[in-house]
């Protein structure tokens, strides 16, 4: 459902500037202001999505860092195990 909004006591300079900008975009004042209001509403929604995205990226980076550290520890354990097996084999060959 569409509704009307009325704005009172707006300075003439502001109205003239809005009219000029609307004309530059090839729109009526009303259509131009509707676009501005819609963009304003959407901008708030976009900001919320962006904040969730940033938080998701931070969480992913923390998980990746943790996984990298765990893989490094496993790699060191495997290398140590191979080294000890080789040393044991050498000691038992003699």
Q: Identify the residue whose tokens are 């009172």.
A: 8
pLDDT greater than 90 at residue 93 = no
Provide mean pLDDT across the span 48-75. Answer: 98
Q: What is the pTM of this model?
A: 0.56
pLDDT greater than 70 at residue 4 = yes
Contact 22, 31 (CB under 8 A): yes
Integer Cα distance of 43 and 45 in angstroms = 5
pLDDT band at 94 (very low <50, low <70, confident <90, very high): low
- Mean pLDDT of all residues belonging to the chain: 96
pLDDT given for residue 34 in this prediction? 97
Task: Classify 46 as helix, strand or coil.
Answer: helix
């Amino acid at each position: 459902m569409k509704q009307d909004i009325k704005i009172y006591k707006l300075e003439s300079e502001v109205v003239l500037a809005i009219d000029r900008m609307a004309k530059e975009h090839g729109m009526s004042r009303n259509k131009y202001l509707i676009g501005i209001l819609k963009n304003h509403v959407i901008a708030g929604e976009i900001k919320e999505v962006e904040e969730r995205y940033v938080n998701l990226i931070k969480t992913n980076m923390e998980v990746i860092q943790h996984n990298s550290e765990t893989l490094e520890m496993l790699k060191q354990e495997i290398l140590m195990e191979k080294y000890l097996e080789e040393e044991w084999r050498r000691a038992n060959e003699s």
